[in-house]
Amino acid sequence: MFATITPEQCGQLAKHTRVLLLLEEDIEQTDLLAWIDEGVADFLGLPVNLDLLWAKIKRMTELKRVYTRLEEQAKLQQVLIDEKKQEEELARHVLHHISKYDDDAESDNYYQIFIQPSDTFNGDFVATMQSPGGNIYFLLLDATGHGLAAAISILPITGAFRAMVSKGLEVAAIAHELNRKIHNELPDDRFVAACLLEVNLHTNELLVWNAGMPDVLLIDDNQELQVRIKSSHLPLGILSPQEFSPKFAKFGQELIHHIVACSDGLIEQSGTNGELFGMRGLLEGVQHFNLDDKWVDKLIGELREFSEGVPQEDDITLFHLDRRKIEPFRETLGAQVQSEHGELRLELLAKGTQLKRFDAPGLIAKVLECTSLFVDIRQRAFTVVSELFNNALEHGVLGLSSTLKQDPEGFADYYQQREDRLNNVKEIDWVRITMRYDPREHSLSFDVGDSGSGFDVDALNHTQNEFSGRGLALVRKLAHTVTCIPPGNVTQVIIK
């Protein structure tokens, strides 16, 4: 179309099509700027050369196709970006609630945690939980890599950890199950460094299992380093269950007042001079700052000053536990309650295939919550019943021997045999638990028996090892009296 138009009219036309402007010979070149600003695509002088006009029209048509395609791609890209944002928000919401570290511990004023991802998603994970037996567990994880892939790697662990702690299982069994899940459910190139801590309020012991995490520091009241617990295991998921070792370190807590742990993102963070913050920076922070409830913030402040201007290179986690502050919490476990009278009796019997799903400790814990018993007694009762029930089921009914747990391979074989034999229990197999509660004495008594042939108590004591669990040794620490009735398939305990 040929017409005489103004620059403003040209601008309106350019919104819908591409404009080729034919110039008169006497137009000033400076006036061309007004036309360019309004969207003129090209110019052609008079008189018109038809070949040149045709060439320009073809070029403008091709450019129109290119621009149209780019606009469509831009719209599609925006749709994909919006969908990705929605998916990330959903994933972030789910991961946040799954990996929320402030869990079921009844008091959180005795530990501090700093955790910061290097990407949108966090491959570090911290969980705390108190078992029905009163022990407090801490789990620190550092998954391979960064971002969503690393965050997904911790998902198989979170539910398993909470489920096993809720059943009062020991550190070795928890570590073994976490490794089995990671080994079976994640690709071969994915693994997870882990540190598992158990604070036992009744025996005053600390259990530490370190697999691929930086040294765990045990510090006394003078802020002097007492023990550095180095990693003695490969991270979760590398070894098969048969090769995996659940061996843990055990310490009395008399000289341990502080526990400090971190992920490698903290000690491997580079500074402005190219050096790493390192364990040296962490130890200097222990010595220079009071280990109070502000210590974590102070140490992170030092890290930021050290690495000012340097991007964060990995997810960072820092953990500090002040064991002294657990003592007031522990003392509340024996708080007095009003006097009551009467008696409560309960008998539980599981036979045949019901043994596969029978959660006797959990049932008894629920019943005891309805009594006026001291919290301390209820917690010790849960642990005692758990140990005695497992002994009755595994050693009495299933005929398993603790000697299988002499090494990592035997540990895995033990639990495989346990599963196999549970699937083949006979109808005449049984475990019975009888509980009596006297509110006037604030005491509990339990009789735990099974259909097995019994065992030699003295021989059993000699087979205890670092893999074979807690057993009767722990029961004797927690109970007032323990009596094994010949031939060894009934155990009576009193807890006060």
pLDDT tens by residue, 247-278 = 899 998 777 889 999 999 999 999 988 899 99
What is the pLDDT, as a whole number, of residue 107?
Answer: 45
The conformation of residue 489, written as its DSSP 8-state character, comes to T
Helix, strand or coil for residue 115? Answer: strand
The DSSP string of 241-256 is TTT-----EEEESSS-
CATH topology of domain 338-495: Heat Shock Protein 90 (3.30.565)
Question: In the structure, what pLDDT confidence band is assigned to residue 138 with cuts at 50, 70 and 90?
Answer: very high
Domain with CATH 3.30.565.10 in the chain: 338-495
| Res 22: pLDDT | 52
Tens digit of each residue's pLDDT (9 = 90 or more) over 302-347: 999 999 989 999 999 999 999 888 865 555 555 555 567 788 899 9
For 20-51, write each residue's pLDDT tens digit: 555 555 556 556 666 667 666 676 666 777 78
d(CA 262, CA 114): 9
Percentage of residues in the chain having pLDDT higher than 90 = 42
Higher pLDDT, 418 or 371: 418
Looking at residue 277, its pLDDT comes to 96
High-pLDDT (> 70) share of the chain, %: 81
Give ranges for CATH 3.60.40.10 in the chain: 99-330
Query: In 3D, which of 368, 333, 361, 371 has the Cα closest to residue 107?
Result: 333
pLDDT of residue 455: 74
Sign of CA dihedral 411, 413, 417, 419: positive
Residue 110: how many other CB atoms lie within 10 Å: 19
Name the CATH superfamily for 99-330: PPM-type phosphatase domain (3.60.40.10)
pTM score, two decimals?
0.74
**pLDDT higher than threshold 80 for residue 409:** no
